[in-house]
Structure 1
Amino acid sequence: MKMDSIKMKKELEKRLTNSNRSFSFDKKKDELRIENKQTGKGITISLPGIIAKWELQKEKAIDEVVYYVEEGLQAMEGDIQLSGQEKNIFPVIRSTSFPSESEEGVPFLFDEHTAETRIYYALDLGTTYRLIDRKLIEKEGWVPERIKETALFNVRSLSTEMKSDEVAGNTYYFLNKNDGYDASRILNEPFIKKMEQKIEGSMAVAVPHQDVLIIADIKNETGYDILAELTMSFFASGRVPITALSFVYENGSFEPIFILGKNRKK
């Protein structure tokens, strides 16, 4: 069966239908919006990306979208509070092209991180999370610094156990706990410094999507090419893609590297 936007739209509407929801399809943008009829809050999903995943994963791709839309809509409908939830506030890494405000026009709380990435802040709700916006901060009477400090403290409590693989004399470490905060471990400074001590060659880091962190011990030029292929592969298959570029970690900062065949540019 050949999948197209109309077929995908119908399939998603069938799976997500609910008397309290409305659907609207923007043919020009190829986007489907699912809204709560009472609140007007909703989620807009881009269909081409889901179709591309469907080509590879079939039903699993649709199952994932349905799950995240259901969880996201439930999170929007609930009354969210920060007080008493300090231990559930975490940073999340997103690409610089990620929206800076909610669909209602409320700015998210975020910080610039690298030329490719930003740090957003989220309240963990168990099976999903909600990005923290300025409206929620004002409602709770918090200051942004409190959120940021709490999130960075909490990310240090997450497991940093890694698997490793050696290819062509280079070592690649993978952190993949699937808790939504794998890429966020890049902000755990003591952990990154500890890994730096372990590295014998050059240290490179990649966050292709939210559910993986790659740290590479690069000892030859081939190592950069392998890292580029790995990062691109993860980026293409990730549920929440971040960046296909890798970073060299030097003097406490992350500098993007552009790997062009055998050449690389910082």
Structure 2
Amino acid sequence: MKMTSIKMKKKLEERMNNPEWNTSFNRDKDTFRIEWKHSHQGITVTIPNIIAKYERRGEAALDELEDHIEEALRIMDQTNELSGKEKNIFPVIRATSFPKKSKSGKQMVVTEHTAETRIYYALDLGKSYQLIDQSMLEEEEWTQERLEEVAAFNVRSLPTDMNHDQVAGNDFYFMASQDGYDASRILNESLLEEMKANSKGELAVAVPHQDVLIFADIQNKMGYDILAQMTMKFFAEGRVPITSLPFMYEDKHLEPVFILAKNKPETQQNSGEDE
């Protein structure tokens, strides 16, 4: 029997039965909302999308949805403090198109990085994280410099295990630990310097999405083409895409580059430098 929106609504109501929450069904938009009674903060899910997952995976899809909703509501309802949680603060790399303000209008703490990327800061909450905004700094009397120092120290403490692959005489190294901070490791200056010191040719770095960091030891012209194709593929598949442009690493600077087929890349005009 085909699952209808009304039947799915009833299933969700049964699962989201919490005395501290309100649930509501919008028949026109075919959405279901769960929110805290006291603050009206909540999350809205699209019923047809849930039905599609349910028809593929059954109750397991609803188990997963329930976990995500509970976690999202828990984070919304807690006041997070930075003091005492210094070890849980990390930088995150985002595209320059990523909003500088939260949905609630709060100004995020950001640091300029390159022409393609910007640094935000996250308080790790275990299963998820919260991006740090200016009001959090002000409430705890933190300076942005202190936040940047703490985050930089923590990213240097992350493991740097990589997989190695050799293609057409070029060496490629992939980091994909799935801890949410793979791309952030591009900010580990000692790692970049170590990779540069060990490279046979020119060193390129790519952060196509949040969950991967690629180093390329380019030793011939074909290496540029391979890197360009690889970066575009990862960028298209990423859950949190960042940039399809790789960077050349030289003299402690990251320069975004356009790679033209079978040619050495030309540095992007007006590109920024990493801080």
Could you say whether these structures have the same fold, taking a TM-score greater than 0.5 normalized by the shorter chain as the test?
Answer: yes
Mark the structure with the bigger radius of gyration. Answer: 2
Aligned to 1:75: 75
Question: Deviations 1:224-266 (Å, cap 9, x if unpaired)?
Answer: 1111111111112212111111111111111111123334332
CA 1:237–1:36 in structure 2 vs 1: closer, same or farther (change >3 Å)? farther
Please state whether the residue corresponding to 1:155 is helix, strand or coil: helix
Shift of 1:76: 2.1
Question: Quick check: 2:13–2:23 contact (8 Å CA) kept in 1?
Answer: no
CA 1:139–1:179 in structure 2 vs 1: closer, same or farther (change >3 Å)? same
CA 1:98–1:16 in structure 2 vs 1: closer, same or farther (change >3 Å)? farther
Kindly provide the amino acid, as one letter, of the partner of residue 135 in structure 2: K
Aligned to 1:109: 109
Kindly provide the amino acid, as one letter, of the partner of residue 176 in structure 2: N
Question: Quick check: 1:41–1:104 contact (8 Å CA) kept in 2?
Answer: no
Question: Quick check: 1:228–1:246 contact (8 Å CA) kept in 2?
Answer: yes
Shift of 1:90: 0.6
Aligned to 1:130: 130
Aligned to 2:262: 262
Please state whether the residue corresponding to 1:118 is helix, strand or coil: strand
Q: How many residues align?
A: 249
Find the aligned partners of 1:157 and 1:236 in 2 and give their Cα distance.
29
Identity of aligned residues (%): 53
Find the aligned partners of 1:146 and 1:86 in 2 and give their Cα distance.
10
Question: Deviations 1:165-192 (Å, cap 9, x if unpaired)?
Answer: 0000000001111111111111111111
Kindly provide the amino acid, as one letter, of the partner of residue 260 in structure 1: L
Please state whether the residue corresponding to 1:205 is helix, strand or coil: strand
Kindly provide the amino acid, as one letter, of the partner of residue 174 in structure 1: F
CA 1:165–1:104 in structure 2 vs 1: closer, same or farther (change >3 Å)? same
Question: Deviations 1:80-116 (Å, cap 9, x if unpaired)?
Answer: 1111101111101111111101111010101111111
Shift of 1:16: 11
Aligned to 1:245: 245
- Say if 2:192 is the partner of 1:192: yes
Shift of 1:155: 0.6
TM-score (norm 2): 0.77
Equivalent residues in 2 for 1:107-186, closer than 5 Å: 107-186=107-186
TM-score (norm 1): 0.80
Shift of 1:43: 5.9
5+ residue gaps in structure 1? 1-6
Shift of 1:164: 0.5
Find the aligned partners of 1:66 and 1:261 in 2 and give their Cα distance.
47
Find the aligned partners of 1:32 and 1:94 in 2 and give their Cα distance.
30
Question: Deviations 1:22-52 (Å, cap 9, x if unpaired)?
Answer: 6799x99xx9987545434456899xxx9xx
Say what the alpha-carbon RMSD is for the aligned residues. Answer: 3.4
Kindly provide the amino acid, as one letter, of the partner of residue 228 in structure 1: A
Please state whether the residue corresponding to 1:245 is helix, strand or coil: coil
Shift of 1:203: 0.6
CA 1:68–1:169 in structure 2 vs 1: closer, same or farther (change >3 Å)? farther
